[in-house]
Amino acid sequence: MDFGMQLLRMLGALALVLGLLVMGLYAVKRLGLWIKKPDENQWIQVLGRHYLDPKHCLLVVQAKGQIFLLGVSPQGLQLLSPLESSDHVPPKQP
């Protein structure tokens, strides 16, 4: 009977620790502390993003009034081409 009581106390403590962990994670996600949201940047804006595969994408970025096409890969960031303002077509709003 002593073994059963110890097992019950151990399982209760484990349930308590897991419950606190789940509640803590839920609170962090609800309060928005999980991922820090980027501040609005007046100088740089990402106008569009197109994923080619999970590790490669194309970005259309506006910086100080100029628009650029950038390639992003695990090796780094590469300027592919500056774009004219007339080349940029804003995405369709749903």
SS3 2: helix
Looking at residue 41, its pLDDT comes to 66
Q: What is the mean pLDDT of residues 8-37?
A: 85
Q: Give me the DSSP letters along 7-66.
A: HHHHHHHHHHHHHHHHHHHHHHHHHT-SSPPPPP-SSEEEEEEEEEETTEEEEEEEETTE
pLDDT classification of 94: cutoffs 50, 70, 90: very low
Q: Is the pLDDT of residue 79 over 90?
A: yes
- Which sequence spans correspond to the domains of the chain? 1-36, 44-87
Looking at residue 33, its pLDDT comes to 62
* 23-72 tens-digit pLDDT: 988 887 777 665 666 666 678 888 899 999 999 999 999 988 889 999 99
